[in-house]
Chains A and B, each alone.
Chain A
């Protein structure tokens, strides 16, 4: 990937459902191999924004470019690992069957498929539960399996919608470690969160509320220019400053 071009370029994007404007004039860029967080309360438009990035949903106006290609483009989806807010698993199937199904959709075959399934289950620490039916999984385990599926085809771009909801702090830390390792290998990660302290772990952060982009900067930068000590205060500061 060319270092000069951002992995994601969102330019003056609006998205309206009927007369309801969900996203208003969003412009931001995501660089390669960074973890980019989208922070905002629920209903702020985070999920709509990430759906626009994948091309599942389309902009009302403006444009989204991912890896230099104008979205939506079907072939781009091969380059993206997407984890939706809902777990989206076939609960009557075993974890292995779920993984094999999605692996096939991404064209993974044979030994490569077996290896990748073992790898991703190790990352999310579920290797012992591979043959268990998903309806016997706890909420946190389902979340992790969902993440494992997004990692399967080694996409250069990961888009994760609230990836760590319902996951215990120890495991959350280990998942962050893995995400960091992926960054190290050049994978770009975009994730949404409404947990303020988790947001601080991102390289850069976009604050979004009521469909408006409040600020984009590194967590440190956001705290400094707001002159506050916590991310929560920073959010209030930028939210208030706009009003």
Chain B
């Protein structure tokens, strides 16, 4: 009987908390659909540039499902390779092809290598096995021995920082509301924007240390590949924290308790991880790629990958930096407006 009473009570609580119920049913579906889109997408089509001398090679590559872009000269191709527009550039050097891999993505590297070696065999079947056509391979970024962690490292740094700051800031702002201290604050001459800015500064100081520690640990202790400037890594992790902090405090306005705050994880965090560039985005439907453009982690991990793997500087990350600052400012503004729910002036 008592077990029945507890069972019944739990069912009643679920029925009253429609949001939790919806989440139990809908969130797994959402995450699973995303997964199937990400992992079930078409096989990765490498984008290979082919410069002047190697043009005859084109059709053989295309037969291997590679996307081939012809270039008039090797230099033009190299420029695009540096911008990461291409996965690899093939030039004909004497009789054997020279392959320069973009290198930052092991998946793309493998796809290129498979396409190139198959194309060579088909192009000169007579020479197969004689070793004359063995391609010369070099890496623009990264290296042959780049491990998966090197590829995922920059993205995971961004993801974890975002995740923890989002939750902690969100729950702490939520507590202000549930314990009544928010109402107490709003009964003082404090302005709404002062609360929001105070939160950003207070947590901001903490996130500086967090960014320092996490970046240092990943690079020095875990030995994740680091080709660029440590200062930029710090800047990016910090900006990512800021966007997580401001989004967390904003969304806490729409959570009634800590549990409902945690429910934002499958809705806000998980989709961002899938769309962050951890998995090749090119295989996703276009609309889903566009959704990715509206998430802070996307910009954070793009910039971190550019710094840590490609060793790039300010010119490569400036847009990402502006995007993250823009997100933070937008979330702060929306939070000031959301606080109107509690006090209009």
Q: Using a CB–CB distance below 8 Å, which chain A residues touch chain B?
A: 54-56, 58, 72-75, 77-78, 80, 82, 84-91, 102, 105-107, 149
Contact B189 A56 (CB under 8 A): no
A residues in contact with B187, CB < 8 Å: 54, 56, 77, 80, 82, 84
Contact B181 A88 (CB under 8 A): yes
Asked if B185 is at the interface (CB within 8 A of a chain A CB), the reply is yes
Contact A56 B180 (CB under 8 A): no
A residues in contact with B189, CB < 8 Å: 74-75, 77-78, 105-107
Contact B188 A56 (CB under 8 A): no
Residue of B180, B181, B184 with highest tally of chain A CB at under 10 A: B184
Q: Which of B188, B342, B345 contacts A105 (CB 8 A)?
A: B188
A residues in contact with B183, CB < 8 Å: 56, 84, 86, 88
Sampled A-B contacts (14; CB under 8 Å): A55-B343, A56-B342, A56-B343, A72-B345, A82-B187, A84-B180, A84-B184, A86-B179, A86-B180, A87-B180, A89-B181, A102-B188, A105-B189, A107-B189
Contact A74 B181 (CB under 8 A): no
Asked if B18 is at the interface (CB within 8 A of a chain A CB), the reply is no
Complex alpha-carbon distance, A72 and B180, angstroms = 20
Extra contacts besides A78-B189, A91-B179, A102-B184 (12): CB < 8 Å: A54-B187, A56-B342, A72-B344, A74-B189, A74-B345, A80-B187, A84-B180, A84-B183, A85-B180, A88-B183, A107-B189, A149-B184
Q: B316 → chain A, closest Cβ, in Å?
A: 43
Interface residues of B in 63-104 (CB under 8 A from A): none
Q: A147 → chain B, closest Cβ, in Å?
A: 12
A residues in contact with B184, CB < 8 Å: 82, 84, 88, 102, 149
Complex alpha-carbon distance, A74 and B187, angstroms = 9
Asked if B186 is at the interface (CB within 8 A of a chain A CB), the reply is yes
Interface residues of B in 329-345 (CB under 8 A from A): 342-345
Complex alpha-carbon distance, A107 and B181, angstroms = 18
B residues in contact with A56, CB < 8 Å: 183, 186-187, 342-343
Closest to B194 in A: A105
Interface residues of B in 166-198 (CB under 8 A from A): 179-181, 183-191
Complex alpha-carbon distance, A90 and B184, angstroms = 11
Closest to B191 in A: A74
Closest to A78 in B: B189
Contact A105 B190 (CB under 8 A): yes
Closest to B186 in A: A56
Contact B180 A106 (CB under 8 A): no
Closest to B190 in A: A105
Q: A5 → chain B, closest Cβ, in Å?
A: 22
Q: B229 → chain A, closest Cβ, in Å?
A: 38
Complex alpha-carbon distance, A80 and B345, angstroms = 16
Closest 6 CB pairs of A and B: A86-B180, A88-B184, A88-B180, A82-B187, A105-B188, A77-B189
Q: Which of A58, A88, A107 contacts B179 (CB 8 A)?
A: A88
Complex alpha-carbon distance, A143 and B159, angstroms = 42
Q: B13 → chain A, closest Cβ, in Å?
A: 23
A residues in contact with B344, CB < 8 Å: 58, 72
B residues in contact with A80, CB < 8 Å: 187
Contact A90 B345 (CB under 8 A): no
Q: B233 → chain A, closest Cβ, in Å?
A: 32
A residues in contact with B188, CB < 8 Å: 77, 102, 105-106
Q: A84 → chain B, closest Cβ, in Å?
A: 6
Complex alpha-carbon distance, A84 and B185, angstroms = 11
Closest to A159 in B: B187
Complex alpha-carbon distance, A72 and B340, angstroms = 13
A residues in contact with B179, CB < 8 Å: 86, 88-89, 91
Cβ proximity bits B140-181 to A, threshold 8 Å, 1 near / 0 not: 000000000000000000000000000000000000000111
Complex alpha-carbon distance, A194 and B306, angstroms = 65
Q: A137 → chain B, closest Cβ, in Å?
A: 14
B residues in contact with A90, CB < 8 Å: 181
B residues in contact with A85, CB < 8 Å: 180
B residues in contact with A149, CB < 8 Å: 184
Complex alpha-carbon distance, A92 and B144, angstroms = 52
B residues in contact with A82, CB < 8 Å: 184, 187
Closest to B187 in A: A82
Complex alpha-carbon distance, A88 and B191, angstroms = 18
Complex alpha-carbon distance, A84 and B187, angstroms = 9
Closest to A71 in B: B345
Closest to B342 in A: A56
Complex alpha-carbon distance, A237 and B181, angstroms = 38
Q: A85 → chain B, closest Cβ, in Å?
A: 8
Complex alpha-carbon distance, A72 and B186, angstroms = 12
A residues in contact with B186, CB < 8 Å: 56
Closest to B182 in A: A88
Complex alpha-carbon distance, A102 and B184, angstroms = 9
A residues in contact with B185, CB < 8 Å: 105
Q: B187 → chain A, closest Cβ, in Å?
A: 4
Complex alpha-carbon distance, A183 and B180, angstroms = 28
